[in-house]
Amino acid sequence: MELQCKIQNYEWGKLGLDSTVAKLVVNADPSMTIDPNKSYAELWMGTHPNGPSLIIERDIHLSEYLKNNLDAIGPDVRRKFDVSVPFLLKILSVRKALSIQAHPSKAHAEELHKNFPELYKDPNHKPELAIALTPFEALCGFRPISQIKEYINKLPELKEILSEASVNALEQGAVDDSASLLKDVFQSLMTSEKNTIARALENVMKKLQSEDESTQSKLLYPLLKKLHSDYPGDVGCWAPYFMNYIQLRPGQAIFLGPNLPHAYLSGDCVECMACSDNVVRAGLTPKHIDVPTLINMLDYTSYQPNELLFVPQIEDPNSCIWRPPVPDFAVVKIRVESGDSYNTIVRPSPSIIIIISGKGEACDTEPIPARAGVVIFLKASRQLTLTPSDGEHIEAYQAICNV
């Protein structure tokens, strides 16, 4: 069954047809008009109440259809998640940085929702998987302590806004206490006075712009300049000196488990997550920032960038799967070449499939033209046959429950 899905026009999204979201949507429905000055940030595929998908042929929301068609969910998913699609599949097109943020664990989400329901709207966790469609930049996880120390020592403007006690402790502290030391110095940054932060940023920008290209590169000036132009004076502009700067190639992925600090910076990706809106923000945003909650929940492990890459498993010659350590979702990438035909693997779960490129036919009970941007809902324990047109291919991403 083909779905009509919700576009989110958040301010940080790519504009017009620069956006993969816009390209996919207009390719699936050529009657759509794309405004070149409007941002097309996200495409939501699922049953989330803030952007529910519609079954085109039946003209009803997918969530309504499921209430009367329990077989579509399947017994395994119903036992775990009741009558719901517990994941939200998205396409993101990022023009400027999203907020530095982390997502609470399930138990913490329940606590936050109970105590602050106006800020934390539901009791669910929000693990996320991001798979790059184009070169994709993100900040993710804390850097090794040695790198953070080096940046603090090479940037007196940064050192001046941190408490002397936290910097001294970081310099002299034991390796086995690194998480505690990192927490103290990051808390010192996040609780610094706004004017002090902004003034230090102005000073470091003036100094770095006159340095040679090699020094600018080593001290992350191009990234700092971009963040500062988008969010002038924001404490989050200092985040690259504490967090890993990751550049994903198309097909590479990161998994964002509970409490892992991250921020998407630019590019296009497929994203899948548990159905939740629980975000604790720290900077690079005009939205609510909850510093005390964030400081106390973060994962202060130091990671090397390659440790944060999430590698898929090959399932068969046409598919690979990213299977995170959560039951809510997994994501399958499918690629079918010209002259071939492929039957998707039968899953005990409903699934949502988006065609990313190519053209041909998708058939469950009835054939659907398969072209980039088409989104299909597949019932539990059913199979979809993908057949490219002559000289074409079909590439698709399938979200499933990880049960």
Cα gap 110→95, rounded to integer Å: 33
Single-letter code of the amino acid located at 348: P
Domains of the chain, start order: 2-72+86-140+247-286+300-308 (2.60.120.10), 144-240 (1.10.441.10), 313-400 (2.60.120.10)
- β-pairing verdict for 385-388 and 375-378: unpaired
Please report the sign of the dihedral spanned by the C-alpha atoms of residue 109, residue 113, residue 118, residue 121. Answer: positive
Give pLDDT, residue 103: 86
Return the structure tokens found at 51: 């952007």
pLDDT digit string (tens) for the chain, length 403 residues: 999 999 999 999 999 999 999 999 999 999 999 999 999 999 999 999 899 999 999 999 999 999 999 999 999 999 998 888 999 999 999 999 998 988 887 888 788 878 887 777 777 768 899 999 999 999 999 999 999 999 999 999 999 999 999 999 998 876 668 899 999 999 999 999 999 999 999 999 999 999 999 999 999 999 999 999 999 999 999 999 999 999 999 999 999 988 999 999 999 999 999 987 778 888 888 887 888 888 999 999 999 999 999 999 999 999 999 999 999 999 999 999 999 999 999 999 999 999 999 999 999 988 999 999 999 999 999 999 999 999 999 999 999 999 8
Give pLDDT, residue 276: 77
Active-site residue identified among 95, 143, 281, 347: 281
281 is catalytic: yes
Give pLDDT, residue 174: 67
Give pLDDT, residue 389: 96
DSSP letter assigned to residue 364 = S
Contact 88, 130 (CB under 8 A): no
Q: Report residue 128 CA to chain centroid gap.
A: 6
Give pLDDT, residue 198: 95
